[in-house]
Amino acid sequence: AHAEPKELLELALAAALEAGRLAADGQAGIRVLDTKSSPTDVVTAMDRAAEEQIRRRLLGARPGDAWLGEEGGEEAGTSGVRWIVDPIDGTVNYLYGRREWAVSIAAEVDGEIVAGVVAAPALGETFTATRGGGASVNGEPLRAPGAVALDMALVGTGFGYEARRRAHQAAVLATVLPRVRDIRRVGAAALDLCDLARGRINGYYERGTNAWDWGAAALVAAEAGVRVGGLRGAGPGSDLVIAAVPGLFEELHDLLEPLGADTDG
């Protein structure tokens, strides 16, 4: 059955905090220089274990819901509710013992995300939002600061994993970098959008991310007053996500559009 966004948020929050503890406890044991087993395999195993734990908790409570997970793929449901889950966004940071990684859980009702949690245990930060109900960090209301001009903007971005895509992303960046205050590459799309919601960056764009990376965080950002979209009026998608408060959003959009930032060149 359908549920209220607040109920879905509570469930998602409990699941994200639990999975965050599991992953945080496991992070210390990962050694990048360990020669016996590949560290990437260890991270993949943790990704799977965390997603499985989230799935047990969410689908245990709501068996008719649909699923879209980074590790577990897609599964249809009957309730009209779909969970969109990234057990560890920022896996390279996680692997290197860095703190910028997060568990991301979004609840979609009839195709629209209505609740989202981004839990970053190593940072001690948990972001939550419900559609129309505002966004918070650690329970404190979040409001993005007003627009700055593009040349004063600190802009976050990220890069894909394939060489060809990266070469074009580097070409786009070569045009963007001289036009802005500076660039940040934090390594977790969910945290980029949450950082934007609290004014730690002013803008963000990235090609090639998936709904599990940005679904929950896009709601946090939108509820904090950030515009999140794509090129030419499109919504955010794997082609391109652009985010900034109104005013700066249009400037960033108009800079990226002629560069083909939504393509691989």
> Which stretch, 13-21, 131-139, 156-164, 218-226, contacts ligand LIP (CB under 6 A)?
156-164
Binding residues for ligand LIP, how many (CB under 6 A)? 15
Residue 187 in contact with ligand LIP, rule: CB under 6 A: yes
**Nearest distance, CB of residue 86 and ligand LIP, angstroms:** 5
CA separation for the pair 214, 228 (Å, rounded): 10
Residues numbered 89-148 forming contacts with ligand LIP, rule: CB under 6 A:
89-91
Q: Which of 213, 223, 251, 262 binds ligand LIP (CB under 6 A)?
A: 213
Q: Which two tokens stand for residue 128?
A: 């939550």
**Nearest distance, CB of residue 118 and ligand LIP, angstroms:** 11
Strand ranges inside 93-234, DSSP E: 102-109, 112-120, 125-130, 134-137, 140-141, 154-157, 182-184, 203-206, 227-229
CA separation for the pair 208, 210 (Å, rounded): 7
Fill in the per-residue mask, 42 to 81: x = in contact with ligand LIP (CB under 6 A), - = not in contact.
Answer: ----------------------------x-----------
> Which stretch, 26-34, 182-190, 195-203, 237-245, contacts ligand LIP (CB under 6 A)?
182-190
Binding-site residues for Mg(2+): 70, 86, 88-89, 213
Residue 159 in contact with ligand LIP, rule: CB under 6 A: yes
Contact 185, 160 (CB under 8 A): no
**Nearest distance, CB of residue 212 and ligand LIP, angstroms:** 7
Nearest to 62 by CA among 17, 15, 112, 16: 15
Residue 262 in contact with ligand LIP, rule: CB under 6 A: no
Angle between helices 189-197 and 211-223 in degrees, nearest 10 = 0
CA separation for the pair 20, 99 (Å, rounded): 12
Residue 193 in contact with ligand LIP, rule: CB under 6 A: no
C-alpha dihedral sign at 264, 216, 187, 229: positive
**Nearest distance, CB of residue 238 and ligand LIP, angstroms:** 10
Kindly give, in sequence order, each residue whose CB lies less than 8 Å from that of residue 258, ignoring residues fewer than 6 positions away: none
Binding site for ligand LIP (CB under 6 A): 70, 86, 89-91, 158-160, 187-189, 206, 208-209, 213
